[in-house]
Amino acid sequence: MALLNQVDFDALGKVSNKAVKDAARVSALDALFSLLVSYLGDEGVSRVGSGTLAISVGSRTVSDGTCPEVSVEIKVTAKEFEGHASSGKSADWVEAYDRLEAAQDYADEVAAKEADAAEKAKAKAARIAKAEADRAAKAKAKAAKSGA
C-alpha cells in the first residue's frame, strides 16, 4: 500500500471532484482502520458507518456495577481540494481546504484561549487577594474596636 499522502488520484481518470473525495475518504478510512487494528487489535476497532470508525479506549464501572466500554467515534471527511461555487440556490463560493492554514488557525485559537485563561486567572487571583486584604482589615478594625 502506498503512503496515504502519495495516492495518485489522477489515476482515477476524468471523474468528478465528489468521486475523488469519495476515493480519498475510502483510502484514508482503510489506512486508518489498518493502523488502529495494528495498534489496538481486532477487538478494539470497529467500522460503524460508511465513513466512521469506533475505537474502544477503556471501560468504566458505573453505578449499577456493570463495566461498559468507553468508545470514541472517528469520522473521516474528505475536504474540498478545489475552490468552486456551491451547488444550490445561493451559489456561495467554497474555498479549497488548506490543511496547514487550518493547523495554524487552530494553533492561534489555542494560544488565544490560553492567554484569555491566564488573564482570567490573574484577575481572579487579584480579586481573591483584595477580598482577603479586606477581610484582614475588617478583622483588624474589629479587634481594635473591641480592644479599645
Structural domain containing residue 129: 98-148
Q: Is 81 found in the same domain as 105?
A: no
Query: What pLDDT, on the 0 to 100 scale, is given for residue 9?
Result: 77
Domain tally, the chain: 2
**Do 111 and 85 share a structural domain?**
no
93 in the same domain as 103 = no
pTM of the predicted protein model: 0.64
Same domain, residue pair 80 and 58? yes
Beta pairing, strands 93-94 & 69-75 = unpaired
> Are 108 and 127 in a shared domain?
yes
Q: What is the pLDDT of residues 4-26, one digit of tens each?
A: 667 777 777 887 888 888 888 88
Residue 69 pLDDT > 90, yes or no? yes
Mean pLDDT of 44-67: 93
What confidence category does residue 62 fall into, taking pLDDT thresholds of 50, 70 and 90?
very high
Three-class DSSP labels, 100-133: HHHHHHHHHHHHHHHHHHHHHHHHHHHHHHHHHH
Residues 72 and 20 in one domain: yes
pLDDT, one tens digit per residue, over 22-51 is 888 888 999 999 999 999 999 999 999 989
